[in-house]
Structure formats: structure tokens, C-alpha cells
Amino acid sequence: MLRFEDLNVTDPSILSNLLKERFDHQKEVILQNARDEWRTLRFHDLKKVIECNSALFRICSQLKYCRKEVTDEDMLEKTNSTFHATNITLMQQYRLQKFTRYSELNACLLVAEQNNELLMKNHDSCQHD
């Protein structure tokens, strides 16, 4: 449809302006949705670290597209502040490590999750013996 509507436009700057007029409002919609998702994202609502990571980076990408930067500090705070209440000790331990990069915290969470899964498998195999 777009090719036919703007077929007679040969000037790239005019075409760019037409497209901007037509689609620029999409950033407002994306920004509002991304902000809502950021606000409601909770680490404890997701079952796996990789799921949280995926959601976090998807939202950050949308915010970045809308020219709203999310810093490592923002991602660290989001993750640390949304641990389940039953994991308050774990959250405090991660805070005490004073990570400065989200990737460091994420690596630690992935290792902890893997170790926990191994412990559970070991526990389950002991139950069946």
C-alpha cells in the first residue's frame, strides 16, 4: 500500500517526512507500553532467570528505540527490588556484592539457578533410591 500511495514522491526528504507523519505516533504507543511493562516486571513472577532476562532486554530495547536509555544501575535495581519476599536474604547477599553491571548479577543468578536445579535433581534421585 505504501508504495502505491507515495509512488509519485521522488524526493527522499519528502518521502521521509511523509513516513514520519504516518508512523511517528507509534513511538508514543511503544513507549507507553514499555513503561507499563517495566513498571510491572517482577523477577519473582518468572520461573527462570533466562525468562526475566529476555523480558528485561525486550523492554529495554523498546525504551531505547523511543530514546529512553536504561542503565545497568536501573536493571540492577529492577532485578534486586523484585525478588520474592521469601528470598529477601538472597537479595541482600546480591546487593552486598555491589555489582556495577547487570551482566555480572545475571551471571551470578544463572549459576545459582543451575546449582539449585542440580540440588533438586540430586534430592529427587535420593528420594527414589
| Phi-psi group of 23: left, alpha or beta (phi > 0 → left; psi -120 to 50 → alpha; rest → beta) | alpha
Query: What is the span of the domain harbouring residue 53?
Result: 2-128
User: Residue 3 has what pLDDT?
Assistant: 53
Q: Which of 30, 38, 39, 20 is nearest to 67 (CA)?
A: 30
**Residue 3 host element (H or E):** helix 2-5
Regarding pTM above 0.85, the answer is: no
Tally of domains in the chain = 1
Q: Is the pLDDT of residue 67 over 70?
A: yes
Q: Is the pLDDT of residue 129 over 70?
A: no
User: Residue 24 has what pLDDT?
Assistant: 78
